[in-house]
Amino acid sequence: MSDTSFDAEVTAKAAESGANASARFRERMATGSARPGVVDTMRVDHLASKVIRALNDIVIEDRVSYEEYNALKAWLIKVGEDGEWPLFLDVWLEHSVETVANAHREGSKGTIEGPYYIEDAPDLPWNGTIPMRDDEPGTPLVFTGQARAVDGTPLPGAKIELWHADDLGFYSQFAPGLPEWNLRGTWTANEDGRYEIHTLRPAAYQIPIDGACGQLIAAAGWHAWRPAHLHFKVSAPGYQLITTQLYFPGDPHNDDDIASAVKPELILDPKPDPAGEGVVVDYDFVLDLES
Ligand code: MBD
Ligand code: FE
């Protein structure tokens, strides 16, 4: 991108996403479904001691200098100031938490939620169109499939929540200037457990690079890209909710996602839409029974 006014706008919008992610997370912890319980003292002792020991081992082994120690201190302060703890943790740690949490599942693969989920996106019929602007840029995508149990039982009334970035890589309610529920919706599967979701094919995505996380990425010579992705939460009464993401074949970042959240089972197989200019893709969500 060589147009500097465009770059400036993109950078300014990215800056707000981090701060908003922290505010939304705090709200959800106070009131929402992701609210944590109290972690047992022995467990805190065990985990915190291990983390501190691991950091000390690195300092000794790699002979960390005062200069490096102070650079770390300054950077950690900036992560908080920029509101980027949700971004940092979801990009570099959540994938391992997800691996542990979902190891027992037999149904569809899950992957990380990331920092940009909002509860209670607008309700749509089983074949509804996602809320979008009149001139929303992007290729039409029709996403069909069936929600079912591991034993094949269809799940009528299953809820399919979808959220994704716009063509410039921005999420509504995090980046400024977008309609409130842009590219977010909740579909209810029909009497056969089927859904037909009308949306747009998302573009490749760069995490915000103007804050502390971007500073780390630049300082380490890494890249900030995630492959194009659709985020989902799928649920039905009596079944375990699944949080996942789906990807597109041929994306150069499927193999080096900065958030380590791609799995081979999550790569879609889209086909040209025989009825239009866009693409169609079929993907079933298979849910595990509640344990
Ligand atoms: C995203 O859109 C995302 O999905 C993750 C995991 C991290 C940062 C931005
Ligand atoms: Fe995302």
pLDDT at 52 over 60: yes
Last residue of a domain, one of 83, 109, 143: 83
195 lines ligand 1 (CB under 6 A): no
Contact between 220 and 184 under an 8 Å Cβ cutoff? The reply is no
Q: 5 in a domain, yes or no? A: no
Residues 152, 263, single domain; the answer is: yes
Global pTM? Answer: 0.93
User: What is the CA(63)–ligand 1 centre distance, in A?
Assistant: 33
Mean pLDDT (whole number) for 51-60: 98
57-71 residue pLDDT tens: 999 999 999 999 999
| Residue of 96, 226, 247 to mutate, ligand 1, most atoms within 8 A of C-beta | 226
163 lines ligand 1 (CB under 6 A): no
- Cβ count near 160 (within 10 Å): 22
pLDDT-based confidence at residue 25 (cuts at 50, 70, 90): confident
pLDDT at 235 over 90: yes
**Which residue, by CA, sits nearest to atom 3 of ligand 1?**
114
Q: 89 in a domain, yes or no? A: no
**Which residue, by CA, sits nearest to atom 9 of ligand 1?**
207
pLDDT of residue 13: 58
- Pairwise CA distance, residues 113 & 231, whole Å: 7
Residues 272, 162, single domain; the answer is: yes
Per the structure, the complete domain to which residue 131 belongs is given by 99-287
- Pairwise CA distance, residues 212 & 113, whole Å: 21
pLDDT of residue 291: 85
